[in-house]
Structure 1
Amino acid sequence: MSLLHHDARSEALAQLSCFRGEFYSCLTARSDALFELADAVLCGDGPVRSPAELSLVGEHRRGHGGLYAALARGRIDAGRLR
């Protein structure tokens, strides 16, 4: 692996980490559960047919009850997200 490739990969991971941190800061209630829900949506194997299916994706470590609680009571600061 060339040094240039290693630097580019490190930079990409740093940008991804920064993005994830900023996204997490937009979640104002039920932050952890909403963050895992977003990961599950992005890492799932195709279209989402029901919220309960997302609780089966490995990135969502909570049960389906936590998923529904996040959807019902979670909050996102839309202005900050923009």
Structure 2
Amino acid sequence: MCVHERVWNLWCSHYIFFCHALLLMPLFALCLRYFRVLAQCILSLMRELSPGVHRGVAAVYCTRKPLSESRVIQIK
């Protein structure tokens, strides 16, 4: 196999991989969005069923504070 054929095969394999990656990216993003919504639903259900869960892990995902309520530490 000459150098030209090797370069051509390498380019084709990278091109095919790049095209597949571009085609699969929207599907991957859709799956991530679906799993994020599913996780939020499960955590909110846990929070509704158990009154003590809102102080635990579910509070991180189910409640979000605005930036104005967050503490800002100033370093002098």
TM over 0.5: no
TM-score, scaled to structure 2? 0.39
Relative contact order: is structure 1 or structure 2 higher (C-alpha 8 Å, sep ≥ 6)?
1
Which structure shows the bigger proportion of residues in strand conformation?
1
Q: Which has the higher helix share?
A: 2
User: Under a length normalisation based on structure 1, what TM-score does the superposition of the two structures give?
Assistant: 0.36
